[in-house]
Amino acid sequence: MASQLHSRVRRLARRRHVVTILALAGLAATFGLMLGLRATETLGTVAFAPWVGLIGFDAGVLAGVLTAAAATGLWLLASSHEGTHASTVQILVRIAYLGMLGVGTAVAGRRLHAGEREHRSFAALQSALIDATLDGICLTDREGNLLILNAPLRRLSLELGLPLVGTVPEQLLSIAHRMVDPERYRRRMTELAESTGESTSDEFELAGTGRVFRGFTAPVSDASGGFAGRIWTLREVTADRELDRMRDAFVATVSHELRTPLTSISGFLEMMEDEEEGLGETGRTYLDVIRRSTDRLHHLVEDLLLIAQIEAQRVELEYATVDLAELAQVCIDAFRPTAGEKDVKLELVSDRPSPISGDRRRLTQVLDNLVSNAVKFTEEGGKVTVTVAADGDSTTCVVADTGIGIPSDEQGQIFSRFFRASTATQRAIPGTGLGLAISRALVEQHGGTISLESREDKGTRVTMTLPTQHPEEGIHAAAG
């Protein structure tokens, strides 16, 4: 089917050549006659020149030379028929003129054809390359019309039941009803269809199939830097998500099961503490070690369970009036002994902003994580400063330290769960890589933001901004 189409296109192209040659020859003959040339002159040299040039260009040196010879022969024949005899010089001039035309255009044609072949070969390689990727890829113009579509995306489009008519955003919108959250999907696609500058990616799940896809789109610029269209990629991530689900389920199961031995360890430890007086110094040291280790294990289990709850969106906040400065003071007092052991100064700077609406327990947890990290990663003689200040409709809390810092290329991942900075692992500073992930999730659930700036060996500064008023309270107040 494809080869038939190809040969038809080639035939049409050849016909176009013939039409062009005839038109040029006719034009040349007309000009020749208008300039007062004789019919033999016009026919043999002027009208044949386009034939010689184009045949040489298209079919090569031999064809060009043969056409030139035929043209010269025809001119000689016509001259003889007319009764005029060309001189040797005239014959040689015409042979030279037509021969050079045939050979010259043939050489130019060969070069151009070689370039074209190279271009076709490169285009075929590019096409093979984008067809060989695992991702579905397509390119659309400014209006969203399809320009390039690779083989994996063609296959995925069939599987997803995309209609393949209309613009790409229209095609994507037409399958919104098949998604797990059609409204969110529709909203995102509409935003994308209207956007020219945004580069974004998102995941969506096909309802009833469990199949999850990650789509990515970015604007493409033309040579002058203007918006030329978009590139779209689509990848099935069902297996990745299934792996995530299995990992989360495993972590949750293990964490729950760890609570059983922790109950007996911490319970008997508590009972032994009542009899601590009867233990010798060595016994008391051992008991201290067991106590510290049990506390760490307890915190680890709680963090693992909380991150699992966060992932499953099962954490509910209990809103109350919270004085962030007071919370920070309590937190600082709790960490002062640990900081003192390392000779790290710990101080609070606050202009006593108004209380905010938040979950006291969860915000305490966030502050504990941030201050704990700051103290843990600050070396002897360093300083940790917690600043709480009003900032318009928000309250900002900054935890700054003069510690070991985080390499700049790792800062983008620092809020990911289980991620630990190389500066911490190299120094064997204990941790789970959960504190910042939990903190970010809890702050965002409060409608706030959290960010980090850090310089290796200089220090880290974490800024948390929380709205003074709970978003829903704001809505109620506005409505009231």
Partner 1 sequence: MMPRVLILEPHDDVRMFLECSMRRLGYEPVAPTDCSPGAVDAVVLEPSWTHGRTILEQLGDAVPPVVCLSIFPREAGLAPPESVAYLTKPSSLQELAAALRGALRPLIP
Give the residues lining the site for partner 1 (CB under 8 A): 256-257, 259-268, 270-271, 298, 305, 309, 314
Rounded to a whole number of angstroms, the minimum distance from the CB of residue 175 to partner 1 is 35
C-alpha dist (Å) from residue 220 to 200, 217, 228, 284: 13, 10, 6, 68
Between 207 and 254, CB nearer to partner 1? 254
* Closer residue to partner 1 (CB): 236 or 311: 311
Residue 223 Cβ vs partner 1, minimum distance, rounded to whole Å: 58
Instruction: Find the helix packing angle between 238-274 and 281-311, rounded to 10°.
Output: 150
User: What is the distance of C-alpha 54 from the center of its chain?
Assistant: 49
Nearer to partner 1, 173 or 305 (CB): 305
Q: How far is the CB of 261 from partner 1 (least distance, A)?
A: 7
Residue 415 to residue 439: CA distance in whole angstroms:
8
DSSP structural state of residue 150: -
Nearest to 108 by CA among 53, 36, 65, 26: 53
Separation between Cα atoms, residue 58 and residue 61, nearest integer Å: 9
For residue 349, give both structure tokens: 């700077």
Residue 371 to residue 400: CA distance in whole angstroms = 9
Least distance to partner 1 from the beta carbon of 315, Å? 10
DSSP per-residue codes, 44-55: IIITHHHHHHHH
Q: Of 412, 338, 407, 405, give the one whose Cα is nearest residue 375.
A: 338
Among residues 260 and 282, whose Cβ is nearest to partner 1? 260
**Residue 285 CB, nearest approach to partner 1 (Å):** 23
CB of 263 to partner 1, least distance (A): 4
- Residue 417: its H or E element: none
**Min dist. Cβ of residue 319 to partner 1 (A):** 18
Q: Taking a C-beta distance cutoff of 8 angstroms, is the pair 400, 460 a contact?
A: yes
Q: Which is nearer to partner 1, 3 or 260 (CB)?
A: 260
Compare residues 41 and 359 and give the one whose CB is closer to partner 1: 359
Least distance CB 290 / partner 1 (angstroms): 13
CB 305, min distance to partner 1, A? 8
Tokens 């060989």, located at residue: 132
* Comparison of 301 and 389: residue with beta carbon closer to partner 1: 301
User: Cα dihedral angle (223, 226, 227, 233), rounded to 10 degrees?
Assistant: 40
CB of 256 to partner 1, least distance (A): 5
Distance, CA of 62 to CA of 286 (rounded, Å): 100
Residue (310 or 399) nearer to partner 1, CB: 310
Residue 408 contacts residue 371 (beta carbons within 8 Å): no
Between 28 and 310, whose beta carbon lies closer to partner 1?
310
Q: CB nearer to partner 1: give 257 or 444.
A: 257
| 411 DSSP 8-state letter | G
Q: Can you tell me the distance from the alpha carbon of 408 to that of 414, in angstroms, rounded to the nearest whole number? A: 10
Tokens of 28: 């040349």
Task: State how far the Cα of 230 lies from the Cα of 364, in Å rounded to an integer.
Answer: 45
Nearer to partner 1 among residue 24 and residue 262 (C-beta) = 262
Shortest reach from residue 251's CB to partner 1, in Å: 14
CA–CA separation, 151 and 128 (whole Å): 9
For the chain, the 3-state helix, strand and coil shares in percent, each to the nearest 5, are: 60, 15, 20
The tokens 């995925």 sit on which residue?
A: 156
Nearest-angstrom CA–CA distance, 343 and 8: 85
Residue 50 contacts residue 68 (beta carbons within 8 Å): no
Of 148 and 269, nearer to partner 1 (C-beta) is: 269
Q: Which CB, 154 or 291, lies closer to partner 1?
A: 291
CA distance to 348, 350, 363, 368, per residue, from 327 (Å): 11, 12, 8, 10
Least separation in angstroms between CB 262 and partner 1: 4
Rounded least distance, CB 304 to partner 1, Å: 13
In the chain, how long is the greatest CA-to-CA distance?
142
